[in-house]
A and B are shown apart, each in its own frame.
Chain A
C-alpha cells in the first residue's frame, strides 16, 4: 500500500531505515530538479530487488520515471540509460545484498567507465525480504537464518572496495539524519561520474543496529558512527584509504576525483573521428 496506490502490496516495517533514505532522496531530487530546471520526469530511479528496491514505488509527489529490474543488475541497467540518455539524472537504489553480493561483479567495470550515475546503497547487513539471511556486510560470527551457527566469512568493507575499484565519488552516511544525507545525495547527483552514497539503513526486524551505530549512553554503547573530520581531504587517495581502513562508520565525503565520464570520452571520440553515415558504409561493400 502506498499513498497514491491502495493496491500496491508492499510496505516497509515500522522504523525501517529506508524511510529516512526515501525522505533524503525526495529532498535531493526536488532540489536537483529545481536547481537545474529539468522536468521532474528527467529523474530516473533504477531499483534492484530487495526491500530497498521498493523505493521506486514510494516516492511522494509528482513521479519520476522508474525501473524495478532484477536482482543485482541495477548498475548495468542504469549504464544503459545514462550512456544512451546522458541528459537524464540516473539514480540507482540498491541494498547491500543486491549491490555487493549478486551485483558485485558490476562495480569495478562501472567505475572504470565512470558513467554519470548516482548510487544509493542501503546497507542493513542482512537479506530482509527473504527473512533474515546473512549478507556481505553481516558481521563475522553473526547468527542469521542462513548462518544458524554464526557467519563464517569475513565482513566486507564496502567503502574500501569502492575506493580500490576507482569509484570517483564516495560518501558514507546513515539513515537517521535525512537532511544531512540528502545533501550528500545531492552532491553525488551533481558529481559528473559514478558516485556512491553508502547509507547504513538498519533493519528493525532482522538486524537492528540503531544502537550500535548511534550509541546509547544509558546502555553503555559508544556508537560506531562518527562525523568525518572537517580537515579530511577527500581528493587525497591515501588519506581516503586510511580513513576507510579505520573501525567505525564515517559520516561524510570520503573521496572525490573528477576524471572524464564515459559519455564525455565518447563525445570526444565522435568529434575526433569522421562521422559515418549509412550510405557511405553501404557503398564500402560495393563490388
Chain B
C-alpha cells in the first residue's frame, strides 16, 4: 500500500434510485462531518417522481468553506448497475474509489471498486435498517475519517428518550464497524482527510430554501401564499410549519395566479407578503406582477429556477429565467432582481427583498435556483439582532391623499396609506392620476412611467464584490453560479491570469459602483446556465461589453472545466 495522500477536500456521492435514502446518506455524512468541524455542501439530483428513477446525492467535505460541488467524485457509492454505468466517469481518475452494492450490481472487469453487501451486514448487526451505516462506515474508512465522530453523531441522533434507543445505537455502531472492516480488507484508500479547522463562530446547517424562508420570517414576513411546484415547494412547506403566529397568515392556494394576486392584496392591506414559485408558476404570475408594478404594491416573488421552458426539467439546475424575471409582464417594466449566490445570501436576501418592496412600494423578484435551494450547507449562524424589519412610509393624510405623486426633490417617495387609516385612495392597475383614478392623459402616463422607474434608485444597498480592478477583463457570475465561478477564478488567479472579479446580489438596479466598473472593462465574462447568455445580453443592452460562457446540461458547472472555458473565451474574444 502506498503512502496515503493527505487532502483538504473530498467529494462523496451516493447514486441509485429515488427513495433509497440517498439524500439521507449524504445528509448524515454532512452532519457528522460538520459536527467535527469540517465545511460541507451537499448536492442532489433526482427525477420528478416520488419513488424510483435514477437519483444521486453527494456531499463535499472540506477544511475550508465549500464553493461548489467540485470536479470529481472521490468516493462513489452505487446501489445499482445503472448508477455505476452513469456515474463511474465522474470518479477521480487519480485515486477515486467506487463502492458498489454487491446485491444489485456487478461491474465487469477490474478497477478501483469493490462490492459490499450492506443489507446482509446490516442484518448481522441486528438492525435491518442500518444498511446506510454499513456504507457510511466503509466511506469513512476510505478517507480516514474518525469513526468515533460518526458514533457520537449516531448517539445524538438516536437518543430520543425511547426504550429501544440503546439497542438501536448499539446496532448502528456495529453496522458502521462492519462497513469499515470491508473497506479495510479491500486494500483501497482514497487518502486521508486533513484535520478540520473549525470556525470560531456558531454554525447552522441549512438548505437554501430554508435559509431564504428564515431570512424572510426574521425580517417580519406577515403573509405567505403559495402553490406546490418543484423546486419551490419546500418554501411553502416551511412556511406552513413555521409561520404559525398570531397576526400571520399562511395558505396553500389553488394556483400561482391566485398566489400572486393574494400577495398583491396582502401587500396593499399593509402586510409584508411573499410567494415562491418556479418557471411555470412565474409565467402564470406575469400579469399579477405587472399589476403590483403598476399599482405600486409591495410584495415579493421568489422564483426558484429549474430547467425550462414549459414543464422542462423540474428538478435540475438552470439559470434561464432571467429575462422572464426582469421583464415578466407586458408594457414598460423592469423588475428589481435579487439573486442569491450562496446559502448565506439566501438568508440575507429573504429579508432584503421584503424590505426593498416596502421601501420602493413595489414588487421585488428573488431568483434562486434548484441546486442552491436544495443543497445543505453549514454556514455562520445569522445574528437575528442585525436583521432589519423595514416598513413602508405609511404616514396618513387627508382623504383623497395624493398617493401617486412624483418622487420629491430628495428622492422621497410619497407615503403609501394603509386601509383603516385615513388617506384613502384607489390602487389602480389602469394608468392613473395622483389619487389613483383612471386617466389616459399623456401627462399622467409620462409622469407615472418615470416615477415607476425613478424610484428604483432607492434600492441602493445591495451587497457587491469588486476585486482586482487593474485588469481589463473581469468575470461576473450571477446567482447560483457564484461559488463555482469563484473556485474557477481562484484557479485562474493562481495560474497568473490577470482577471478581475465583479459580483452583485442585485441585477437590477445594478449598484452604481458595479455599473461603473463593468463599463470600464474591455470584456466581462459571464458564466451562466442557459443557452442564450441572458445576463450578458442584458448587460450589453446597458452598454457593457459582456459575453457568456454557457452550459445547458441541467447540471451546475464544474470548477476546472469552467476555468478552461473562461480561458478559451478570453482567447477567442481577444482574437476578434
Contacts and interface: CB of A to CB of B under 8 A. Distances in A.
B244 A69 contact: no
Interface residues of B, number: 74
Given A70-B290, A105-B254, 11 more contacts: A8-B439, A46-B265, A65-B426, A68-B426, A73-B257, A76-B258, A79-B253, A85-B419, A105-B255, A282-B214, A285-B210
A56 interface: yes
Given A9-B438, A285-B205, A41 B421 contact: yes
Interface string A46-89: 10010000101100001111111110010011111111110110
Interface string B401-415: 000000000000000
A273 B248 CA distance: 14
B424 A63 contact: yes
Give the one of A46, A73, A80 with max B CB within 10 A: A80
Contact of A279 (B384, B423, B427): B384
Contact of A80 (B214, B263, B426): B263
A77 B426 CA distance: 14
A209 B419 CA distance: 37
The 4 closest A-B pairs by CB, nearest first: A80-B265, A76-B261, A80-B262, A285-B204
B222 interface: yes
B253 to A, nearest CB: 7
A56 B426 contact: yes
Nearest to B419: A65
Given A8-B438, A41-B419, A73-B257, A65 B424 contact: yes
A66 B438 contact: no
B500 interface: no
B197 to A, nearest CB: 15
A57 B435 CA distance: 10
Contacts, number: 208
Give the one of A262, A263, A276, A279 with max B CB within 10 A: A276
Give the one of A4, A56, A269 with max B CB within 10 A: A56
B430 A81 contact: no
Contact of B223 (A10, A54, A84): A84
Interface stretch (B133-141, B269-277, B452-460): B269-277
A contact residues, range: 35 or more
B246 A76 contact: no
Contact of A64 (B424, B433, B439): B424
A67 B267 CA distance: 11
A83 B258 contact: no
B112 interface: no
Interface in A35-52: 39-42, 44, 46, 49
28 contacts: A5-B437, A40-B424, A41-B399, A44-B269, A46-B265, A56-B426, A57-B426, A65-B417, A65-B424, A66-B425, A67-B426, A76-B253, A76-B258, A77-B264, A80-B225, A80-B262, A80-B266, A81-B269, A83-B223, A83-B249, A83-B251, A84-B266, A87-B420, A109-B253, A109-B258, A266-B251, A282-B214, A287-B205
A2 interface: yes
B425 A109 contact: no
A87 B164 CA distance: 51
Interface string B26-69: 00000100110000000000000000000000000000000000
B245 interface: yes
Interface in A238-287: 262-263, 266-267, 269-270, 273-279, 281-282, 285-287
Contacts of B217: 278, 281
Interface of B: 31, 34-35, 202-206, 210, 214, 217-218, 222-223, 225, 241-246, 248-249, 251, 253-255, 257-259, 261-271, 273, 287-288, 290-291, 295, 378, 381-382, 384, 399-400, 417, 419-430, 433, 435-441
B254 A67 contact: no
B357 to A, nearest CB: 14
A7 interface: yes
Given A62-B399, A84-B222, A287-B34, A41 B422 contact: yes
A49 to B, nearest CB: 8
Contacts of B378: 287
B218 A278 contact: yes
**B contact face: mostly helix, strand, loop, or mixed:** mixed
Given A81-B265, A81-B268, A109-B253, A66 B384 contact: no
Nearest to B205: A287
Interface of A: 2, 4-5, 7-10, 39-42, 44, 46, 49, 54, 56-57, 62-70, 73, 76-85, 87-88, 105-106, 109, 113, 262-263, 266-267, 269-270, 273-279, 281-282, 285-287
Contacts of A269: 244
Nearest to A113: B251
A277 B268 CA distance: 25
Contact of A88 (B419, B430, B439): B419
B437 A2 contact: yes
B423 to A, nearest CB: 8
Contacts of A65: 417, 419, 424-426
A260 to B, nearest CB: 15
A67 B273 contact: no
Contacts of A9: 438-441
Given A41-B419, A281-B214, A67 B205 contact: no
A86 B255 CA distance: 22
Given A41-B420, A42-B420, A81 B441 contact: no
Contact of A66 (B218, B381, B436): B436
